[in-house]
Amino acid sequence: MDNQNNNNYYPSGTSGCAVASMILGIIALCLSCCFYYVSLPCAVLGVILGAVGIKSRKGGRGMGIAGLVCSIISLVPAILVIAFGTSLMEMI
């Protein structure tokens, strides 16, 4: 069997977008409760890069999914802090 035919089935390398999405998702998740102004842009970029990493033909699909999930989960506390922080400031 020829090795050149098998190379088409296995992706070469890992998608940089998937790796960046996972890193940004973890950063956003860690900072979502205290530093929402840093967490929100990281989460939005993580969602975008995660979607691009999943759609690419390179490896790293699992990292792209992990980054996408972490980014989406980190958006919830950041939005809650922004919403309740604003409503608490109005009460004072």
Which tens digits make up the pLDDT trace of 40-63? 999 999 999 999 988 887 888 889
On whether the CB atoms of residues 34 and 20 are closer than 8 A, the answer is no
pTM of the model: 0.75
Instruction: For residue 3, give both structure tokens.
Output: 């090795």
Which tens digits make up the pLDDT trace of 64-85? 999 999 999 999 888 888 888 7
Amino acid at 49: L
CA distance 18 to 2: 31
CA distance 28 to 17: 16
The predicted structure's pLDDT at residue 48? 94
Domain layout of the chain by residue ranges: 14-91
Q: Over 60: is that where the pLDDT of 4 sits?
A: no
